[in-house]
Chains A and B, each alone.
Chain A
């Protein structure tokens, strides 16, 4: 197996992993750097359930970057890079197979 083919397979695995991470983070459109921790508590005096909310540092991978100046903080950036690299690798593989034949 050529190293170009190995690179293609590696990139495919990377993209699958990043897509899994994106799905796991809740299909975020934009990358987020915080998430909200919500704790429910029973309030006996008011006879209701009250929410305690606090923001905690939590990176959530999004389809698009949270900051346009930092495009690498998004799935789409790696997707584009990987597709381009896979295409280049495919071209190299085709070229080398043609030269062999």
Chain B
């Protein structure tokens, strides 16, 4: 029995130590969001019985560090201002920035801190670049409340070439991420019973990030 437990511990430890390599890339790659590479955008969707609506923010900022030898240890921080979120209805946007909703005055930014990548699967690797999917785990902060969050990500890492140099220096990166937030978890309660009738209880986020190597 004792040896079985030790074996289990060894197996679990070896799984934990499993490192995914970013192709032949070496070292830590600092990637900073850059408009020259592409417009980073977060689209959000609300689905409720009375109304479906979507909006977006295109003022994302941040950076992330890809640890080439051990992608699991990659980290980063992405944020965007609350008052850059638009839905096509100015009055609704004003309400959204208000105290009952996202309280943009007291908590001007929405942030996502990536602490690690898990479940990495290399999808493509050739002399032009590498593509992989993973789960980005970290903390999402909204209205001053930080919660553990998990986002499904797909990363396209393109090596520097004559074509990429026309856009920006260094290797280029595009990240596609999807996750969902429950408004209640972040103390976003709205007015009356609007959440659940006119605004969805969960908001789905679809994020596209574009950046380049900045070191």
The answer on A and B forming one complex is yes
**A interface residues, Cβ below 8 angstroms from B:** 29-36, 43-48, 50-53, 55, 66-67
Tell me, in angstroms, the Cα distance from A23 to B39 when the chains sit together: 33
Min CB–CB distance A65 → chain B (angstroms): 9
Smallest Cβ-Cβ distance to B58: which chain A residue: A53
A53 and B41 contact, CB distance less than 8 A: yes
Q: Which of B51, B88, B158, B163 contacts A35 (CB 8 A)?
A: B88
Q: Which of B86, B91, B156 contacts A67 (CB 8 A)?
A: B91
Tally of contact residues, B, Cβ under 8 A: 21
B39 and A52 contact, CB distance less than 8 A: yes
Min CB–CB distance B207 → chain A (angstroms): 13
Could you jot down 9 A-B contacts, CB within 8 Å?
A32-B88, A33-B89, A34-B90, A46-B174, A48-B156, A50-B208, A51-B41, A53-B41, A55-B86
Determine the chain B residues whose CB is within 8 A of the CB of A44 once the complex forms: 163
B158 and A32 contact, CB distance less than 8 A: no
Per the 8 Å Cβ criterion, residues 134-182 of B in contact with A are: 156, 158, 163-164, 167, 172, 174
Q: A53-B56, A53-B58 are in contact. Are A45 and B167 (CB under 8 A)?
A: yes
Interface SS of B by simple majority? mixed
A33 and B163 contact, CB distance less than 8 A: no
Q: A44-B163, A45-B164 are in contact. Are A66 and B89 (CB under 8 A)?
A: yes
Tell me, in angstroms, the Cα distance from A96 to B158 when the chains sit together: 82
Min CB–CB distance B212 → chain A (angstroms): 11
Smallest Cβ-Cβ distance to A29: which chain B residue: B51
Tell me, in angstroms, the Cα distance from A35 to B174 when the chains sit together: 27
Determine the chain B residues whose CB is within 8 A of the CB of A47 once the complex forms: 156
Determine the chain B residues whose CB is within 8 A of the CB of A46 once the complex forms: 38, 156, 158, 172, 174
Q: A46-B156, A50-B38 are in contact. Are A55 and B174 (CB under 8 A)?
A: no
Q: A29-B51, A44-B163, A53-B41 are in contact. Are A66 and B90 (CB under 8 A)?
A: yes
Determine the chain A residues whose CB is within 8 A of the CB of B156 once the complex forms: 46-48
Smallest Cβ-Cβ distance to B94: which chain A residue: A67
A34 and B89 contact, CB distance less than 8 A: yes
Determine the chain B residues whose CB is within 8 A of the CB of A55 once the complex forms: 86, 88
Residue in A43, A46, A52 with the greatest tally of chain B CB atoms within 10 Å: A46
Residue B105 lies at the interface, judged by CB distance under 8 Å to chain A: no
Determine the chain B residues whose CB is within 8 A of the CB of A51 once the complex forms: 41
- 4 tightest CB-CB pairs across the interface, nearest first? A34-B88, A46-B174, A66-B91, A67-B91
Determine the chain A residues whose CB is within 8 A of the CB of B39 once the complex forms: 50, 52
Residue B184 lies at the interface, judged by CB distance under 8 Å to chain A: no
Q: A29-B50, A29-B51, A43-B38 are in contact. Are A48 and B174 (CB under 8 A)?
A: yes
